[in-house]
Amino acid sequence: MLCKSGPNTKSTLEVVHRHGPCNQRGKGKVNAPTITEILSHDQSRVNSIQSRLDFSSGKQSLRSSKTTLPAKSGSSLGAGNYIVTVGLGTPKKDLSLIFDTGSDFTWTQCQPCVKYCYKQQETLLDPSTSKTYSNISCNSALCSQLSSATGNSPGCSTSTCLYAIQYGDQSFSIGFFGKEKLTLTNSDVFDNFFFGCGQNNRGLFGRTAGLLGLGRDKLSIVSQTAQKYGQYFSYCLPSTSSRTGYLTFGKSGVPSGVAFTPLSNSQGQSFYFIDITAIIVGGTKLSISPTVFSNSGTIIDSGTVITRLPPAAYSALRAAFRQQMTQYPTAPALSLLDTCYDLSKYTTVSIPKISFLFNGNVRVGLAFSGILYAGSASQVCLAFAGNSDASAVGIFGNVQQKTLNVVYDVAGGKLGFGPGSCS
């Protein structure tokens, strides 16, 4: 097992897979979900993202300095897949939080758990024992900011502001809106960090303590730490759950060789939009009209597992991939993955390379782990799926991001890809 830490920089957190052996804080954890459950939860998340975007766009469809945290993968849930450990309170309490570029709001379960708290791997944060916690009042201007960060209007209990947030798989958290000291690393400490102190929390959060929101809203950690980090962060997601990655805040120490594509169409949105211009399979650019991608738009999301493509793009990708895999026996579909192979009798396998071209002629080659998704050796599948509707937003998911250094220069309006220093 290779649970190596990421870059040793002062603003870096370790990233681990929630159900993997590198999640040392998760001993005695609940059973990992099956592949079918992971893909089902993933589809719920995708449905939720697409309906949020349809609603906001009027498409009412049915459907400077830097900090690095180690990133670990927590198997799929509606709220995200990878976890980091941060500190809250005085004295500091370490908590494992799912980090999610598709969410803005950070929250953790808190004592006294007025309604319900699921079982988490660490003891609960108790605000009454912290010297630096305070509630936000209902009449504060900050309270009204919850509407954009959570998608729900704030509530009020006596004079304390209440938040409520729900995710695509119907998981939710409700509680007090407060502020507290946030410790990312020993040298990166933030007073008055605004977050949710959950009193009623249910759903597929596993045994994590809550969620770290990396979206674009004013209440996201990216915005709240902007004075120090300049709205700049990067991460590398490990190739397997038995390895670690990292989440780094700030520009310092970002590896060289990063190519940037503009962030697009993101005014007023939490999500990070990018423009795919082409897909290359086995060295050949697929014949896909650029309007196929521009009509739907694409976001990059750390919490979606499988990349979703417009139907015409996925059909072209699937056909080209199948054409170059005819030497291998096929296998039954695995949930939403419809192009699968039985590789159980092979010691080495040759697969076509897949690359994506993004606006600005940025070419991103995918790792082996970003092309195939294995249920077992006898059921190894192309790790992409097609949307059912050509206008539904595409999503560049976390399987395809594995081992890449993904750099978010939010203030500069661009997103970068480079070779990551995790594997």
By annotation, the residues acting in catalysis are: 100, 301
Q: Could you write out the DSSP letters of every residue in 391-404?
A: TSPEEE-HHHHBTE
Beta-bridged to residue 108, according to DSSP, are 197, 210
User: Are 421 and 251 in contact, with CB atoms under 8 Å apart?
Assistant: no
Beta-bridged to residue 234, according to DSSP, are 248, 407
Taking the CB of residue 257, how many other CB atoms lie within 10 A of it?
10
Alpha-carbon gap, residue 324 to 148, rounded angstroms = 46
Taking the CB of residue 179, how many other CB atoms lie within 10 A of it?
18
CA distances from 145 to 142, 151, 194 (A): 5, 10, 11
Taking the CB of residue 242, how many other CB atoms lie within 10 A of it?
15
Residues 6+ apart with CB under 8 A from 403: 236, 237, 238, 239, 367, 369, 370, 419, 420, 422, 423
Residues 6+ apart with CB under 8 A from 389: 61, 63, 311
Instruction: Output the CA torsion sign for 142, 98, 400, 305.
Output: negative
Taking the CB of residue 78, how many other CB atoms lie within 10 A of it?
23
Beta-bridged to residue 236, according to DSSP, are 246
192 exposure class (CB count in 10 Å sphere: 0-12, 13-18, 19+): exposed
- Element (DSSP H or E) covering residue 341: strand 340-341
Can you tell me whether residue 274 is helix, strand or coil? strand
Beta-strand runs (E) in 78-159: 80-88, 93-100, 107-109, 134-135, 155-157
